Chains A and B, each alone.
Chain A
Amino acid sequence: MTALVAPSSFAAPGETGREAPAESRPGLTLSVPDLRCAGCISTVERALAALPGVTGARVNLSRRQVRVDGAVDPAHAMSALEAVGYAARELDPDLIGASDADRYGRDLLVCVAVAGFAMMNVMLLSVAVWSGAADATRTLFHWISALIALPAVAFAARPFFVSAWPALSAWRLNMDVPIAVAIAISCAMSVYETAYGGHHAWFDAALALTFFLLVGRYLDHMTRKAARSAAAELTALENTRVTRLSKNGRAAVRPAELQVGDRIQLVTGEQLAVDAWLREGQALVDRSLITGESDPVAVGPGDPLTAGEIILNGRLIAEVSAVREDTTLRRFAALVELAESAKNRYTALADKAARIYAPAVHLLAIAAFIGWIVATGDARLSLNIAVAVLIITCPCALGLAVPAVSTTAAGKLFRDGFLVRHSTALERLGEIDTVVFDKTGTLTTSTEISGLESLNREERGVLAALARASAHPVAQAIAVALNGEPEQTIENVREFVGQGVAGEIEGETVMLGSPEWAGDDATGTAFRTGEGKVFSIVRKEQLRLGARLAIDGLRELGFDVHMISGDREPAVKSVAANLGISRFAAGLRPEEKIDYLEELEREGARVLMIGDGLNDTGALAAAHASVAPASALNASRAASDIVLLHESLERLPDAIRVARSARRRVRENFAIAAAYNLIAVPLALAGFATPLIAALAMSTSSITVVLNSLRVRLT
């Protein structure tokens, strides 16, 4: 069998997902989030195949992607999909390439297939032995079993040998050491027994062990791969172009191609990819991702711009001051790295179990050997019993206990829009008891000005001109809301500090400011026209979809809900009042947010932080577990354990419920595995364990554990 498959090397097991990049073919990969059904597949493929230059288009529904082959302009392809009703975005080929060719997963699957095939055949032959084949027939069946089992084990159990060897040669124990030792010794012992016409051969046990453990490892790999490729996709989506101005005119380039000193053009709606100095033009920028302020900030020539800011209006020319690693954004990466190492110090349940388990198994087997040799003086019998102990205690169910649960839970969460990024994230999420939200960008999404509907065209023009003349945040927000309206000319504009701004049109005074100053019974901000009419203009922050439901759900689960923000006190207070959050803090700098969380943790709380901004990065890292919305900056997503792919927060309590149930199931699985051992180990120590008992214990415990894990779906 093995000759059919070219031997491929296994690097470090489980972890190394960095496969060799796929050979580059001309074409592109598009992310199409709305792909759902058979109809979508044919519509999308047909629309793309009709384009000139396209040689083939193939949808991958599991990944919600379509791969287009041939020389084709990305813009053309995207507009063709737009025309049939699908929003598509181009993925950065360098980043997505890593998840394209999943060599390790494929090799693992081949190993599972080989081990499964060999196990079934040997099991059939073993049935004949168990049901009474004797003498020459038994020995013949054992030899055939050996013929199948030895090459199959040599091929399929490589992942365990490859991982156990470095650990053994450094005199350490990992989870794979008892596995590798049990497989190797049982094969060797069985060959010896077969050669001398013994009763018991353990070939089927060695293969069953390999098969079940490989299934566990494959599940584990699939979960990690799904998280990794989706995370790569999120990053690859930021495949933006920047307009660079040079002597030869303008060109759309990738941010990575920019150099310090380049001049770039920025237009409304654009998010900065680099740090820059503003050279020409004036504009309002949204800094909420960086500082948490909900109010737009006015900038003019000479002002610095930071990567991550969004231009709200205006057309600017700026000079690049820092690129790639030097941008403010990237400097936060240091914080993120710190956080990662803190998270890596967290010991997962499985590792805790393995640490006790691996030495215990070996001690038990050695004790059995010594005990029997002292009692009987029969080395062959003692060795047989030691092998039986090794096999019976071997962690089939233990190897499946965690991966089966985490695959099920991560799959369920992914369907609910949560992407689990970190391998211990689920466990940590299941332990939290306090939830801390960031405000801007997390609980609120945008600022809305209401009260403009009742104004006529002329009044709007006056309001726009007045608003633009003031630096007050509310005025700035009004100016953004009225962006593009033809302005009226106002004379004699004056700003009254703390009150508002006033001007004159044809001798009549127009005012915009506090109600006490500009109008009598207005609420919010008052706007008085030349004819003396007064309008109320109210600025309100829009809550994120499902924010209220999420907070109510969290309270129901018994969590403390806090809100911390870098924004001004009044804005924070009004959102807190709106959502009924009593514990909040405003005007916090990034370090103060971390302090706030550390204070909570000192009091014994396990905190879940939910935030999106650059100012939250540290807090996301410091928290026990963290969630970032997909709209967050890459740096914040990198610092968080879980990314929320949907717009709505509604499902957050469900996610915590799933995490808690996953934690419970893992513990139950360990208990089940231990219970089987409690029954089987005394049998093995007493010398009653036969290959039949080992096969029964191994299969039933593995199946029970998998079925128990599937219960996570029911939560």
Chain B
Amino acid sequence: MNVLAILVPASLVLGALGLVAVIWSIRSNQFDDLEGDAWRILQDDEGPSPD
């Protein structure tokens, strides 16, 4: 059972990393134009980034 002392915090930290990434992407306007961003990935040249 001692393994829990490592595994539980480890899984929580990994999950938290995901959460931080999601919050960062929300805050940097990446959810503002879902339709456009779906198309942009097909472009060869780099367009200007969202602010």
- Residue in B26, B42, B47, B48 whose CB lies within 8 Å of A113: B26
**Chain A residues whose CB sits within 8 angstroms of the CB of B42 once the complex forms:** 38
Q: Taking the complex as formed, is B10 at the interface, i.e. its CB lies under 8 A from any CB of chain A?
A: no
Q: Which residue of B lies closest to A5 (CB)?
A: B23
Question: Which of A114-122, A288-296, A366-374, A620-628 makes up part of the contact surface?
Answer: A114-122
**Chain B residues whose CB sits within 8 angstroms of the CB of A140 once the complex forms:** 4
Q: Are B33 and A114 touching (Cβ within 8 A)?
A: no
**Chain B residues whose CB sits within 8 angstroms of the CB of A137 once the complex forms:** 1, 4
Complex-state Cα separation, A187 to B20, whole angstroms: 25
Q: Which residue of A lies closest to B29 (CB)?
A: A106
Complex-state Cα separation, A5 to B48, whole angstroms: 27
**Chain A residues whose CB sits within 8 angstroms of the CB of B50 once the complex forms:** 58
- Residue in B4, B23, B43, B48 whose CB lies within 8 Å of A56: B48
A113-B33 contact in complex given A38-B39, A121-B11, A148-B12, C-beta closer than 8 Å: no
**Chain B residues whose CB sits within 8 angstroms of the CB of A42 once the complex forms:** 43, 45, 47
Q: Which residue of B lies closest to A136 (CB)?
A: B1
State the Cβ distance, B1 to closest chain A Cβ, in Å.
7
Q: Taking the complex as formed, is A185 at the interface, i.e. its CB lies under 8 A from any CB of chain B?
A: no
Complex-state Cα separation, A62 to B48, whole angstroms: 17
State the Cβ distance, A66 to closest chain B Cβ, in Å.
10
Q: Are B19 and A114 touching (Cβ within 8 A)?
A: yes
**Chain A residues whose CB sits within 8 angstroms of the CB of B23 once the complex forms:** 4-5, 110, 113-114
Complex-state Cα separation, A60 to B4, whole angstroms: 47
State the Cβ distance, A2 to closest chain B Cβ, in Å.
11
Q: Are A4 and B20 touching (Cβ within 8 A)?
A: yes
Q: Are B26 and A63 touching (Cβ within 8 A)?
A: no
Complex-state Cα separation, A679 to B45, whole angstroms: 57
Interface positions, chain A 1-52, Cβ under 8 Å from B, are 1, 4-5, 37-38, 41-42, 45, 49
State the Cβ distance, A547 to closest chain B Cβ, in Å.
31
Q: Taking the complex as formed, is A124 at the interface, i.e. its CB lies under 8 A from any CB of chain B?
A: yes
- Which residue, B16, B36, B39, B48, has most C-beta atoms of chain A within 10 A? B36
Complex-state Cα separation, A179 to B45, whole angstroms: 49
Complex-state Cα separation, A41 to B37, whole angstroms: 10
Q: Are A41 and B43 touching (Cβ within 8 A)?
A: yes
Complex-state Cα separation, A63 to B16, whole angstroms: 32
**Chain B residues whose CB sits within 8 angstroms of the CB of A429 once the complex forms:** none
Q: Do most interface residues of chain A lie in helix, strand or loop, or is the interface mixed?
A: helix
Q: Taking the complex as formed, is A323 at the interface, i.e. its CB lies under 8 A from any CB of chain B?
A: no
**Chain A residues whose CB sits within 8 angstroms of the CB of B19 once the complex forms:** 1, 113-114, 117
Q: Are B15 and A117 touching (Cβ within 8 A)?
A: yes
Q: Are A124 and B11 touching (Cβ within 8 A)?
A: yes
Q: Taking the complex as formed, is A189 at the interface, i.e. its CB lies under 8 A from any CB of chain B?
A: no
**Chain B residues whose CB sits within 8 angstroms of the CB of A38 once the complex forms:** 39-40, 42-43
Complex-state Cα separation, A569 to B48, whole angstroms: 59
Q: Are A61 and B48 touching (Cβ within 8 A)?
A: no
Q: Taking the complex as formed, is A188 at the interface, i.e. its CB lies under 8 A from any CB of chain B?
A: no
Q: Which residue of B lies closest to A65 (CB)?
A: B33
- Residue in B18, B26, B45, B47 whose CB lies within 8 Å of A106: B26
Complex-state Cα separation, A61 to B26, whole angstroms: 18
Q: Are A144 and B8 touching (Cβ within 8 A)?
A: yes
Complex-state Cα separation, A121 to B12, whole angstroms: 7
Q: Are A41 and B47 touching (Cβ within 8 A)?
A: yes
- Residue in B12, B18, B27, B34 whose CB lies within 8 Å of A62: B34
Complex-state Cα separation, A140 to B19, whole angstroms: 24
Q: Are B20 and A61 touching (Cβ within 8 A)?
A: no
Complex-state Cα separation, A63 to B34, whole angstroms: 10
**Chain A residues whose CB sits within 8 angstroms of the CB of B51 once the complex forms:** 58
**Chain A residues whose CB sits within 8 angstroms of the CB of B32 once the complex forms:** 60, 62
Q: Taking the complex as formed, is A361 at the interface, i.e. its CB lies under 8 A from any CB of chain B?
A: no
Q: Which residue of B lies closest to A124 (CB)?
A: B11
Complex-state Cα separation, A61 to B35, whole angstroms: 6
Complex-state Cα separation, A60 to B30, whole angstroms: 11
Complex-state Cα separation, A38 to B47, whole angstroms: 11
Q: Which residue of A lies closest to B20 (CB)?
A: A4
Q: Taking the complex as formed, is A354 at the interface, i.e. its CB lies under 8 A from any CB of chain B?
A: no
Complex-state Cα separation, A121 to B16, whole angstroms: 10
Q: Are A45 and B48 touching (Cβ within 8 A)?
A: yes
Interface positions, chain A 95-112, Cβ under 8 Å from B, are 106, 109-110
- Residue in A58, A62, A63, A121 whose CB lies within 8 Å of B15: A121
Residues of B near any A CB (own CB < 8 A): 1, 4, 8, 11-12, 15-16, 18-20, 22-23, 26-27, 31-36, 39-40, 42-43, 45, 47-48, 50-51
19 additional contacts (CB under 8 A) given A1-B16, A1-B19, A42-B47: A41-B36, A42-B45, A45-B48, A58-B51, A59-B33, A59-B36, A60-B36, A61-B33, A61-B39, A62-B34, A62-B35, A62-B36, A110-B23, A113-B19, A117-B18, A117-B22, A121-B11, A121-B15, A137-B1
22 contacts between A and B (CB under 8 A): A5-B23, A41-B39, A41-B40, A42-B47, A58-B47, A58-B48, A58-B50, A59-B33, A60-B33, A60-B36, A61-B36, A61-B39, A62-B32, A62-B34, A62-B36, A63-B33, A106-B27, A109-B31, A110-B23, A113-B23, A117-B18, A137-B1
Residues of A near any B CB (own CB < 8 A): 1, 4-5, 37-38, 41-42, 45, 49, 56-63, 106, 109-110, 113-114, 117, 120-121, 124-125, 137, 140, 144, 148
CB-CB nearest 3 A-B residue pairs: A61-B36, A38-B39, A117-B19
